Amino acid sequence: VRVRLAKDGTIASIYDIEHARETLAGPANRLLLWEDYPYSWDAWDISHYYRETTPEQAKLVSRTVVETGPLRAVIAQRLTVGGSTIDQLIVLEAGSRLVRIDNTAEWNESHKQLRVAAEPAVHALTATYEIQFGAVSRPGHANTSWDAAQFEVAAQRFADVSQADYGFGVVNDCKYGHSFRDGIIDLTLLRSPKDPDPVADIGTHEFAFGYYPHSGTWSQSELLETAHELNSPPLVSRSADRSASSSWFDVAGGRVKVETVKLAEDRKGMILRLYETRGETQRVVLRSALALDGMVEVDLLEQGNAKVKAARASGDARYASEVALEFGPYQIRSFRIGR
């Protein structure tokens, strides 16, 4: 992608070079400071009428080019809004479609909320939001009272708006309030309630969000994988043996993810938890460098002993054994390995 920044600190253009299309109909990275006076439950609720007020847009103070290498380009900029300051690093990496924005905010507000808005060039009536072990769609309009009540949606690592052939995702590493109305998708970044804690959230915050334009719908793209990688970056360690590679677990043949590898609650063996990520029926092969001969299927309480048939892995020296598995839409399956 190619990114063009505006003089006010927003992103004016995210151009998809591969598909020769502009992905924005309006600005992205538009930081807006809104009023935030809930009817009750100051620290928990957001009231819908904040949209009837006029927000203050963050002002650009400075901008500097930090990196321009072949693998990464980084621009640093500082913005102010209200009594707060936001330092941003806008990052593009070679081979990635993600426009990542790393933020450090000095937050000093009272009854205000900071949101970041983007207007993608996508015709969509609904938005899709990641939830635990799945995704859910919510309307992007307020035609009925129950549609209007869904003005703020709790989600995990991504939100997406897509038409049949193209989409636009918003990913984050720790911000879970989203909204999609009138073609604009935004993310709640910071709030400043005064009850029960009068200094709640005041101070320094570090967080990241990003924009991920893609062909097809969200389920046909790598949006989910990109969002998960933002939240769980690879851990690098040194090894004396560089002659070979291996993988503890790998899933081949479908959109099933190894979500959890943990010690069993009774400390007898290891729990491996997988789930289907796209809302489809999937047939996959779980491969491992470990012997899976004694693997049994358990429930979420780690109870059960339904034996799973394992076979010797074929065609790849990195794996010792493999298991053929079938998953329904968003199905969660858990297994115990060893005792």
Residues 221 and 169 in one domain: yes
Q: Is residue 262 part of a domain?
A: yes
Q: Is residue 163 part of a domain?
A: yes
| Domain total in the chain | 2
Percent of the chain with pLDDT over 90: 88
Residues 21 and 170 in one domain: yes
Residue 157, pLDDT above cutoff 80: yes
Beta carbons of 275 and 333 less than 8 angstroms apart = yes
- Rg (the chain; Cα; Å): 23
Going by their DSSP bridges, the two strands 184-191 and 84-93 should be labelled as unpaired
Q: What is the mean pLDDT of residues 276-286?
A: 97
Burial class of 43 by CB neighbour count within 10 A (0 to 12, 13 to 18, 19+): middle
Residues 141 and 77 in one domain: yes
Q: Is residue 181 part of a domain?
A: yes
pLDDT at 190: 99
Q: Is residue 238 part of a domain?
A: no
Q: Is residue 271 part of a domain?
A: yes
Residue 240, pLDDT above cutoff 80: no
Residue 327, pLDDT above cutoff 70: yes
Q: What is the mean pLDDT of residues 102-116?
A: 98
Q: Which of 197, 231, 265 is the last residue of a domain?
A: 231
Q: Is residue 237 part of a domain?
A: no
pLDDT at 236: 82
Q: What is the mean pLDDT of residues 325-336?
A: 98
Q: Is residue 57 part of a domain?
A: yes
pLDDT at 242: 66
Residue 138, pLDDT above cutoff 90: yes
CATH number at residue 267: 2.60.40
Bigger pLDDT: 238 or 307?
307
Residue 318, pLDDT above cutoff 90: no
Q: Which of 202, 231, 260 is the last residue of a domain?
A: 231
Contacts of 246 (CB under 8 A, 6+ apart): 289, 318
Element (H or E) spanning 226, and its range? helix 223-231
Question: What is the band of 243 on the pLDDT scale with cuts at 50, 70, 90?
Answer: low
Residues 192 and 44 in one domain: yes
Average pLDDT, the chain: 95
- Report residue 38 as tokens: 């809930």
Residues 66 and 202 in one domain: yes
Q: What is the mean pLDDT of residues 329-334?
A: 98
Residues 101 and 220 in one domain: yes
Taking the model in full, what pTM does it have?
0.95
CA angle 30, 31, 34 (to 5 degrees): 125
Q: Is residue 239 part of a domain?
A: no
Residues 143 and 115 in one domain: yes
CATH number at residue 86: 2.70.98.30
pLDDT at 285: 96
Sign of CA dihedral 50, 52, 54, 58: positive
Residue 57, pLDDT above cutoff 70: yes
Q: What is the pLDDT of residues 33-50, one digit of tens each?
A: 999 999 889 999 999 999
Residues 187 and 308 in one domain: no
Residues 152 and 33 in one domain: yes
Find, among 199, 200, 175, 194, the residue nearest to 186 by Cα: 175
Q: What is the pLDDT of residues 168-215, one digit of tens each?
A: 999 999 999 999 999 999 999 999 999 999 999 999 999 999 999 999
Residues 207 and 272 in one domain: no
> Which residue range(s) make up the domain with 88?
2-231
Q: Which of 181, 202, 231 is the last residue of a domain?
A: 231
What's the rounded Cα separation, in Å, for the pair 127 and 321?
40
Residues 261 and 227 in one domain: no
Of 120-124, 234-238, 292-296, least confident by mean pLDDT is 234-238
Residues 84 and 15 in one domain: yes
